[in-house]
Amino acid sequence: TGVLTAGVLSTLTPAAAADPQARLHQVVPAPETVREAPGVAFELTADSSITADPGATEVADRLAEVLRPATGFPLPVGDGGDLALRLDEPETGPEGYRLEVTADAVTLHAATDTGLFHGVQTLRQLLPAEIESPQVQDVPWTVPGGEITDRPRYEHRAAGLDVARHFFDVDSVKRYIDQLARYKVNFLRLHLSDDQGWRIQITDWPRLTEHGGSTEVGGGPGGFYTQQDYSEIVAHAESRHITLIPEIDTPGHTNAALSSYAELNCDGVAPPLYTGIEVGFSSLCVDKDVTYEFLDDVIREIAALTPGPYLHIGGDEADATTDEQYRAFMDRALPIVAKYGKTAVGWHEYAKAEPAAGSVVQYWGTEGADAELMAAAAERGNRILLSPADRSYLDMKYDESTELGLSWAGYVEVADAYGWDPATHLPGVPAEAVHGVEAPMWTETLETSEHVELMAFPRLPAIAELGWSPADTHDWESFRARLAQQGPRWEAAGIGFTRSPQIDWP
């Protein structure tokens, strides 16, 4: 089959590696502008070294870390060098960068270390795919000559990871964070609680994790993060210029908490732990004061551990509460989020509770459902974060042959994930109200990093590109050609991916 031939070809003579200039036009997400310097190329050698302005040395260390394993070069970070990171470019904004490649030097210019970090991700893709290998590879390390100027379309380009349905340990989360960073994703929403598990230690309520964290979908042993574990994830994400958004889903999706503390139930009776995959059956008791004392403790402790500006309060599928109860709940819960200094994010149902202007409403509908609710939210000054399930849900099957995943929102092939425009997706929501995009990964059917990767790749880069690249670069033929060249990179890096038949993998 084509797949087999492609595998052989990519090990022997990668077509892209043969023509370094081609790599300038294969970057994912597509950069704002690319200027080619025909016939010019830089070569990274054993004598290469990295220099960085003060304030950019951590990014320099990251660059060295990604280049050393495959090249085997020492690549010292110090004064003077043919790879330079400069904080001298005010034009490209808080996250943009300019990458210049001449025969003698590779120079990244940006206003911030975040911009430089994103530039480093581009530079990785300008090197041969073998750069991703953890073992030394014997290839010429050429970088095509030219200049790339780049900056994001949206300030919020997120991924979501559900660690509640199946628990993912600290190393698995770090691994995903590293993969997200490659595509310039800058927020990670961690879904820390649900019916099946409570995954973050709360000192004042220890049974949440002792009992509520003790299982998962299918009845496995579950797990949880100590506050120290959580801080380790936060720090790792920060080093990849990714901000963590903790999500405590309320008032529904709370069986694990309800099972841990009888007093949180209206009838005072703790239900058993739950290991199935139904949704919409649980609710915190809206009328009890203890519910809000509980939330105050949880939100206070998590806010204190979270440097980022956001806290996600859930709010989805609260089928066990009436509209009136739901609103009463949010009217008491949202001020707690504000009290601890965080901006609320919630699933789009919570727009019914009219969250304060500036709060983020995360849309997860399909086929434009609830567009009027979103238009009204935008009108009131809410920011609209788009994660339409029929486009961006990475847990949806690609097609009927996908083994993992769900299909309640339909199948989501690569062309579906890529083929929409965040600015015009919801009629009535003006482009200025669109905050950005998120690709959620729900894990009812996913148990390992390998499972997560098969669902994320190649669709995560599609959503990342919608969030980063200028609208005028949007082009399916261009995207699928560029995406194809990511395949050999994932292979070299040991990242699993699904060989969607829509892409001509090399």
Q: Does 132 bind ligand TNX (CB under 6 A)?
A: no
Tell me whether residue 130 or residue 316 sits nearer to ligand TNX (CB atom): 316
Residues 224-263 that bind ligand TNX (CB under 6 A): none
Q: Is 477 a catalytic residue?
A: no
Burial of 239 (0-12, 13-18, 19+ CB in 10 A): middle
Near ligand TNX by CB under 6 A: residue from 395, 416, 438, 491: 395
- What interhelical angle do 113-126 and 170-182 show, nearest 10? 80
Burial of 196 (0-12, 13-18, 19+ CB in 10 A): buried
Rounded to whole angstroms, how far apart are CA atoms 192 and 249? 8
Residues 442-481 that bind ligand TNX (CB under 6 A): 442, 444
Q: Does 310 bind ligand TNX (CB under 6 A)?
A: no
Distance of closest approach, residue 451 Cβ to ligand TNX, in angstroms = 14
Cβ burial 415-436 (10 Å sphere, 16+ → b, else e):
ebbbebebbebbeebeeebbbb
Q: What is the DSSP letter of 356?
A: P
- Each as own residue / partner, the long-range contacts of residues 135-139 (CB below 8 Å, 24 or more positions apart, any chain) are 135/69, 135/70, 136/69, 136/70, 136/71, 136/72, 137/70, 137/71, 139/17
Q: Does 347 bind ligand TNX (CB under 6 A)?
A: yes
Q: Does 398 bind ligand TNX (CB under 6 A)?
A: no
Distance of closest approach, residue 310 Cβ to ligand TNX, in angstroms = 16
Q: How far apart are the first and last CA of the chain?
A: 12
Q: What is the DSSP letter of 329?
A: H
Q: Does 406 bind ligand TNX (CB under 6 A)?
A: yes
Tell me whether residue 168 or residue 364 sits nearer to ligand TNX (CB atom): 364
Burial of 227 (0-12, 13-18, 19+ CB in 10 A): middle
Q: Does 105 bind ligand TNX (CB under 6 A)?
A: no
Burial of 499 (0-12, 13-18, 19+ CB in 10 A): middle
Tell me whether residue 176 or residue 442 sits nearer to ligand TNX (CB atom): 442
Near ligand TNX by CB under 6 A: residue from 42, 274, 393, 457: 393
Q: Does 370 bind ligand TNX (CB under 6 A)?
A: no
Distance of closest approach, residue 243 Cβ to ligand TNX, in angstroms = 20
Tell me whether residue 385 or residue 429 sits nearer to ligand TNX (CB atom): 385
Encoding tokens for residue 77? 């970070």
Rounded to whole angstroms, how far apart are CA atoms 111 and 226? 36
Q: Does 97 bind ligand TNX (CB under 6 A)?
A: no
Q: Does 364 bind ligand TNX (CB under 6 A)?
A: yes
- Determine which one of 36, 232, 317, 354 is catalytic: 317
Quote the strand ranges of 387-466, DSSP E: 434-441
Q: Find all residues with CB under 8 Å of 505, minimum gap 6, and list them.
A: 3, 6, 484, 487, 499
> Nearest to residue 70, comparing CAs of 142, 145, 139, 144?
139
Distance of closest approach, residue 77 Cβ to ligand TNX, in angstroms = 43
Q: Find all residues with CB under 8 Å of 330, minimum gap 6, and list them.
A: 313, 315, 346, 350, 353, 355
Q: Does 316 bind ligand TNX (CB under 6 A)?
A: yes
Distance of closest approach, residue 347 Cβ to ligand TNX, in angstroms = 4
Tell me whether residue 130 or residue 444 sits nearer to ligand TNX (CB atom): 444
Tell me whether residue 102 or residue 407 sits nearer to ligand TNX (CB atom): 407
Q: Does 423 bind ligand TNX (CB under 6 A)?
A: no
Distance of closest approach, residue 251 Cβ to ligand TNX, in angstroms = 13
**Strand pairing of 360-363 and 434-441?**
unpaired
Near ligand TNX by CB under 6 A: residue from 279, 338, 415, 493: 279
Near ligand TNX by CB under 6 A: residue from 232, 317, 354, 370: 317
Distance of closest approach, residue 144 Cβ to ligand TNX, in angstroms = 41
Distance of closest approach, residue 93 Cβ to ligand TNX, in angstroms = 31
Site size with ligand TNX, rule: CB under 6 A: 10
Rounded to whole angstroms, how far apart are CA atoms 275 and 217? 4
Tell me whether residue 406 or residue 493 sits nearer to ligand TNX (CB atom): 406
Rounded to whole angstroms, how far apart are CA atoms 490 and 44? 21
Tell me whether residue 132 or residue 162 sits nearer to ligand TNX (CB atom): 162
Q: Does 369 bind ligand TNX (CB under 6 A)?
A: no
Query: Catalytic amino acids?
Result: 317
Contacts with ligand TNX, residue ranges (CB under 6 A)? 279, 316-317, 347, 364, 393, 395, 406, 442, 444
